[in-house]
Chain A
Amino acid sequence: MNDKLNFNQIQLVSLVLLRILIGWHFLYEGVIKLYNPSWTAKGYLLSATYMEGFFGWLASDSMIAVTDTLNIAALIFVGVSLLLGFKSSWGSLIGIGLLLFYYLAHPPFPGYPLGPSEGSYWIINKNLIEAAALFVIFLFPTSSFVGIDRLFVKKEITPSTT
């Protein structure tokens, strides 16, 4: 799929920009948590308003260390992958998964309690929109044009052009 897409300049720049912005966001969230030893997702998970059983299990004493580590690792992987353009389709899929977790723990469904937030939401919130944006990045990959993946594409292309 990667090699078949051809974008014009503006399309390419827009898609790369979107990829970098989201990568930036993920990476910063991951790094902040990585270097803060007292950070834990426990509060967020235990205050879940939907699928409480599942999120409660993730927050349980036997699971919380694994949950926290995986969350940080995934955030950083997604961030690095999108920023560098390396395995970006994996990065975007994992990113979508993470965002859906965050979304489902505190979904802005009608009748569900809304925690403190900087805006007003009904069914759709920024987690869901970011997940949708990542789906676009997954469908329209740009890392073979701008990103480390370009090195590997070039490697395959090089012989035929000489």
Chain B
Amino acid sequence: MAEDKKLFKGFSRRDLLKSLGGIPILGAVWFAGVNHDKKSKLERDFLLEKLNIKATPPPESGPMSGEPLRIGVIGFGIRGEQLMRSLGLATNEWLEEMAENERKNPNDMRLADFKAQESLNVKLSGICDIFDVRAENALRSFNTNDNTCKRYDTYLDMIHSGEIDAVIIATPDHWHAPMAQAAIEAGIHVYLEKPMTHTIAETYTLREACRKNPKAVFAVGHQHRQTQSFLTAMDALEKNTLGHVSLIMTTTNRNDDNGAWQYDIHPEASPETIDWNAFLGTAPQVPFNVEHFFRWRKWWAYGSGLSGDLLTHDYDRINCILKMGIPKYVTASGGIYTHRDGRNVPDVMHVNMEFPEFSTGGTQRESKENGMTLVYSATLGNQFERGTVLMGHDASMKLGNTLSIYADPRSTKYRDLIEEGRIDPNVPIFQYDPSAVSGVDAVTSATAKYFADKGLLWTYRDGKRVDSTFLHIREWLSCIRNGGEPSCGIQEGFEEAIAAHMAGLSYKIGRKIAWDEASESIIALPGEDLDAILLNNEV
């Protein structure tokens, strides 16, 4: 005490003020900071509670235990190799190339991501590719001392070998259904790349085969179904966050040779190294042609252009969220405007799908709103990112790897909140970014929006990427091992294929194509053979 007295001896009130005057300022600033956070948190919680959207992670598929599944791959091209990597199997060449990339650029995480991938407990037992170079390439890497991997001359040999439990099919479109059907009928599980079929007739026969052989697990390769933002979008739509959705815009925007299916032609390709007749199958018999072999997506004979290759992705993305099924009417137009190189599939295409009886639910007078159009707009000559937007009376949803919902200024549902200034139509009322720390946020400031959009978004893509194809294949393997239905099975594939074929038909015929739900058929005029039109190379 004596010390204390001594300490303050000679201290005037003025001294004290000069010593401790900062304290009230500190208190005021601290209080203001706490108060600001509390207020913005209240606003955020208020919005989140009001919207009640759950960023639910997809249900985890079951364990990968038991005997290793014996997988056969049909088609070891670009997509076949990618699918093998999702299975955990990479060629020696790819591993060397990625190791070299990692040495040059430590931020290149492709090899590290691949190595960190969970083991799916499978072995590659069979390979079927009609181009010797690719088949031998696969054998060199996968037929090792630890694993026997055989090359089969034909897919039928492999399917009936008794040494394969499941096949992954990544061939040109015109082989999808015949191969899948043969496998399913032999009781072999199938993972089939999109589009599910190349003709209308095949779509029905494949569905029939799946119905008759329910033990064989069939999945279509629409890996988007595993994307978390899509599951969050489903919840948002169930909660009627958008009101009645009248228009959906989906787009393809590409501007490079690879995006226009100008794939590399292998220097060793020749009639000696390629089984040309096996490639052609039921396609028109033409002489050996390397361009047809490597760039088959450019011709209706083997592929289906934008409608089969890319529209199917966008259609299935929306069908996964809305389950709106097959459109009642489809009109399409377009042309070959950016790549006049002898191809006969369009490179610019617009497809309008009409769902006159479909509604996501409304917030206005009953019966005022019903019906929806899905627009698919594609160009292979410009890559301005137009994204995917679902446009409802109350809000719009921008859908990608992230998800943003903006209230509509003329919304019925949010009218009061907009008037009170609690919702700004220019700032998302809900944003979901799977890479963000908390995962979900009702964004209340433009700055937060910037970080969600820019910083975290692309880092998520380039950094900690979740490989959705891996998840999709894992789901298929889990259904084989533990039971259950793949998220994109035969029914979803049927809807995808019919919708794509309707678009292809409308493009070719130049008329609105209609679907008759009662008879489950595309309406044809008397004497019209729709499949012949779809496959016609002259149009």
Binding site for B on A (CB under 8 A): 20, 23-24, 27-28, 30-32, 34-38, 40, 42-44, 46-47, 53, 56, 79-80, 83-85, 115-116, 145-148, 150-151, 154-155, 158, 161-162
Contact = CB atoms under 8 A, between A and B. Distances in A.
Contact of B33 (A28, A42, A116, A146): A28
B212 interface: no
B107 A147 contact: no
B18 A80 contact: no
Contacts of B20: 84, 148
B37 A32 contact: yes
B451 interface: yes
Contact of B22 (A53, A83, A115, A158): A83
B440 to A, nearest CB: 9
Given A43-B456, A145-B18, 16 more contacts: A20-B25, A27-B30, A31-B34, A38-B441, A42-B437, A43-B452, A46-B455, A84-B20, A84-B22, A115-B450, A146-B19, A147-B19, A150-B15, A151-B7, A161-B10, A162-B9
B438 A148 contact: no
A56 to B, nearest CB: 7
Contacts of B107: 56
A158 B437 contact: no
Contacts of A161: 10
B103 interface: no
B455 A162 contact: no
A85 B15 CA distance: 13
B459 A46 contact: yes
A24 B25 contact: yes
A79 B29 contact: yes
Contacts of A85: 19, 22
10 contacts: A24-B29, A27-B26, A28-B33, A30-B33, A35-B38, A38-B436, A38-B441, A46-B455, A84-B26, A154-B7
Sort chain B's interface into a size bin: 35 or more
Contacts of A84: 20, 22-23, 26
Contacts of A27: 26, 29-30, 33
Interface of B: 6-7, 9-11, 15, 18-23, 25-26, 29-30, 32-34, 36-38, 40-41, 106-107, 436-438, 441, 450-452, 454-456, 459, 463
Contact of A31 (B15, B29, B41): B29
Contacts of A154: 7, 10-11, 15, 19
A37 B436 CA distance: 13
Given A146-B18, A151-B19, A36 B29 contact: no
A38 B451 CA distance: 13
Q: Interface majority SS on A: helix, strand, loop or mixed?
A: helix
A71 B23 CA distance: 22
Given A36-B41, A84-B22, A46 B456 contact: yes
A32 B40 CA distance: 11
A115 B120 CA distance: 43
Nearest to B28: A24
A158 B21 contact: no
A150 B455 contact: no
Contacts of A56: 107
B5 to A, nearest CB: 11
Contact of A38 (B19, B106, B438): B438
Nearest to B10: A158
A85 B22 CA distance: 7
A34 B37 CA distance: 9
Contacts of B451: 43-44, 47
B461 to A, nearest CB: 12
A44 B455 contact: yes
Nearest to A81: B22
A38 B431 CA distance: 14
By Cβ-Cβ distance, the 3 closest A-B pairs, closest first, are A31-B33, A43-B455, A43-B451
Contacts of B436: 38
B427 to A, nearest CB: 14
Contacts of A40: 437
A20 B455 CA distance: 33
